[in-house]
Structure 1
Amino acid sequence: FLANIREVDAIVHVVRCFEDSNIVHVDGSINPLRDIETINLELIFSDLEILERRIAKTTKMSRNDKTAAKELEFLNRVKAHMEESKLAKTFQTENEDEEAWLAEYNLLTAKPVIFAANVSEDDLPDDGASNEGVQAVREYAEREDCRVFVVCAQIEQEIAELDDEEKKMFLEDLGLEESGLEKLIKASYNLLGLISYLTAGEPEVRAWTIKKGTKAPQAAGKIHSDFERGFIRAEIVSYDDLMACGTHAAAKEKGLVRLEGKEYVVQDGDIILFRFNV
């Protein structure tokens, strides 16, 4: 299983933060920080196996290759660090080569983490503010530069079977504005530094995911390389402005549709029409 998740950009760790005598915990009690430590150790052990295989391979190469010899020394430093039960992301690299090597190993404990604090339905209305376990997870996450969102897995299972209208009514009855899935998407985007812009036309409206800080030509390149290569300008209106005006024509009349050039940094929620020529 761990081998199958190495290609992901971030790890979502579901942490139990509720008491229920009908659902037995494997350790006999509820302690989210202990559970986080247990999972971290399992991930560290998995990463150490990766490092040991790399060390065996690099040791043979290092006899006649100076670069391999440097990498071998680096590998042993990372291994020693993790053998002290420390995560790979807390290891301090010393130069660009070491940064590249560490990224190449694709270690699980080097990846950003999102904690899903799993609570009972009663803890949802205040977003887990009165739940001691959730507060402990939030404090840990703040120290470790992770993200946290509160979710009730039981509720998520129920709403997964509903259509959009029924789901909206169900959440309103619970006093909730968004589902756990929506919270996860927001937390993931925030952690990974991602935003979305929209393109709209007769066939469809589509969202495109890009890194925060991406300029217009590179954002256009997400659609097709020709868009970036032949970029002329971008016609842009924000989603909120368009919704407030009702139509693109009305937004244009109010001066809310603007033209931007190659240096424009795309913002989350921009609706863009790219002009290009190749």
Structure 2
Amino acid sequence: MEAGIVGLPNVGKSTLFNALTASKAAQSENYPFCTIEPNEGIVSVPDDRLTRITQYIVPKKVIPTTLKLVDIAGIVKGASEGEGLGNKFLSHIRQVDAIVQVVRCFNDPDVIHVAGTVDPLADMETIETELMLADIQTLENALPKAEKMARGGDKEAKLRVDAIKKCNEHLATDQPLRTMELPDAEKIAISSYGLMSAKPVLYVANVSENDLEGKDPLVQKVRDQAAKVGADVVCVCAKLESELAELDEPDRAEMLAEVGLEEPALHTIARGAYKTLGLESYFTAGEKEVRAWPIPRGATAPQAAGVIHSDFERGFIRCEVYTLEDLETYKSEKEIRQAGKLRVEGKTYVMNDGDICHFLFNV
């Protein structure tokens, strides 16, 4: 699963991404970061539950879950028609699973806004419009071929035609596709199109160093607009993050304390993107390692086991489960078992965020 970082020119997108990729804090064993390509990176998702587990189960390694961040080319009005780096932007954003949009919420006369004035709502609308225009073009191009196949009796093509028409009708109301519901079969039928306005979005309000809590009216506008589409908002000062990324651990901790922050933006953005992607974590815990594993919300126990290895899902027998709260109450897995708190779940069990599991399988 990966999230693409997007934004208009001069909103702080590249500053933020570069700070994340250069962060020395992210190179520790618990929160590793490695650059894959100049515009891609793997970032760990900080989770304090890992630390809580290791207070009772001491492992040789602690492994958090990760996600990929992709720095997508800057966007300008007309990107859907190839303006600026529009074509590059479109090709990259089709491949990601979620969008992290950086929105400028600070005034600085030395950093000129591409539109001449700082207006986060206009920025959000510009990108949303480009996504929808690109989707309209994609759907219009796809419809004739789908209709031809449907006339030939292709059942999936008929589903595709129905889905395309519904999407076009929805886009005609100036609403992104993420705000509409389609039957699962129709979603699958058009999944190969990579429709961009259907992707979930996380808004990152890039604030000034004097407004780290995001109290500026500009930020409130972002929150209000995000609430209308069911999106989350994270406040970040990209300038501050770029400075933090240059510091060693002791100096970074001191600077965070001075500005009243508990953690760098890397942690906040990673958790926000993880949630936006529809992911949650379960844990495996033993002397070898304590590890977080990513699963989509609603995953069953066999599907969760398959994240570790496909053989685990194929040969799934049962799952032994307990909670972190059980561990903190009884202090060890042995005591949890003796207290009758270790649950045995089968193939239909739907995983809960934070489950600690052992899988039994046979292949």
For Structure 1 versus Structure 2, the TM-score category normalised by the shorter chain is 0.7 to 0.9
CA distance in 1, matches of 2:186, 2:267: 36
Report which stretch shifted further, 192-201 or 174-183: 192-201
Moved more, 201-210 or 109-118: 201-210
The letter of the residue matching 2:271 is: K
**Aligned equivalents of 1:276, 1:66: Cα separation in 2:** 39
Residue 71 of structure 1: how far off its partner (Å): 4.2
Superposition TM-score, scaled by structure 1 size? 0.81
Deviations 1:249-275 (A, max 9, x none): 7x8389789422125554433443334
Q: What does residue 90 of structure 1 align with? A: 179
Question: What is aligned with 2:168?
Answer: 79
Paired residue type of 1:185: A
Which residue of 2 is the match for residue 179 of structure 1? 264
Greater CA drift, 167-176 or 197-206: 197-206
Partner SS for 1:123: coil
Q: Is it true that 1:131 corresponds to 2:210 in the alignment?
A: no
Mean CA deviation greater in 158-167 or 205-214: 158-167
Deviation, 1:50, is 1.4
Structure 2 counterparts to residues 105-254 of structure 1, below 5 A: 105-124=193-212, 127-128=213-214, 130-228=215-313, 229-234=315-320, 236-238=322-324, 248=332, 252=335
Counterpart contact for 1:115–1:146, Cα < 8 Å = yes
CA distance in 1, matches of 2:163, 2:100: 28
2:134 is the alignment partner of 1:51: no
Deviations 1:118-159 (A, max 9, x none): 1011111xx21x210111111111111111111111122222
SS in 1 for 2:342: strand
Q: Where does the alignment leave 5 or more consecutive residues of structure 2 unmatched?
A: 1-88
The alpha carbon displacement at 1:31 in A equals: 0.8
- Stretch moving more, 65-74 or 191-200: 65-74
Closer, same or farther: CA 163–207 of 1 in aligned 2, 3 Å? farther
Q: Bigger shift: 139-148 or 61-70?
A: 61-70
**2:345 aligned partner:** 262
Q: Are 2:149 and 1:61 equivalent residues in the alignment?
A: yes
Shift of 1:90: 3.4
1:221-260 CA deviation, whole Å, 9 max, x = no partner? 321233342434425351x665798x747x8389789422
- Give the structure, 1 or 2, with the largest relative contact order (CA under 8 Å, sep 6 or more): 2
Identity %, equivalent residues: 42
Q: Which residue of 1 aligns with 2:17?
A: none
Distance 2:350 2:99 in 1: 28
Letter in 2 for 1:158: E
Alignment-mate amino acid for residue 234 of structure 1: E
AA paired with 1:236? Y
Distance 1:267 1:84, change over 3 A: closer
Residue identity in the other structure for 1:261: V
* Offset at residue 99 of structure 1 (A): 3.6
Mark the CA change 1:256 to 1:112 in structure 2 (over 3 Å): closer, same or farther.
farther
Q: Distance in 1 between matches of 2:303 and 2:196?
A: 29
Higher radius of gyration, 1 or 2: 1
2:105 aligned residue: 17
> For residues 40 and 253 of structure 1, do their structure 2 counterparts lie closer, same or farther at Cα, with a shift above 3 Å needed?
closer
The 3 A distance-change label for structure 1 pair 254 and 222 is closer
Give, as a single letter, the amino acid of the residue that structure 1 aligns with 2:241: E
SS of residue matched to 1:14: strand
**Does the CA-based 8 Å contact 1:120-1:152 persist in structure 2?**
yes
The one-letter amino acid of 2:124's match is I
The Cα of 1:28 is off from its aligned counterpart by 1.0
1:256, 1:184 → 2: CA distance?
A: 39
CA distance in 1, matches of 2:150, 2:298: 40
| Residue 120 of structure 2, aligned match among 32, 40, 47 | 32
Deviates more, 1:53-62 or 1:64-73: 64-73
Contact 1:17 / 1:30 at 8 angstroms: preserved in 2? yes
- How high is the TM-score relative to the length of structure 2? 0.64
* Amino acid aligned to 1:219: A
Aligned length: 271
Contact 1:215 1:262 in 2 (8 A): no
Closer/same/farther in 2, CA of residues 276 and 89 from structure 1, 3 Å limit: closer
Q: What residue ranges of structure 1 are gaps of 5+ in the alignment?
A: none
1:149-183 per-position Cα deviation (integer Å, ceiling 9, x unaligned): 11111122222334555433332222112322222
Does the aligned pair in 2 maintain the 1:199–1:207 contact within 8 Å?
yes
Distance 1:152 1:19 in 2: 12
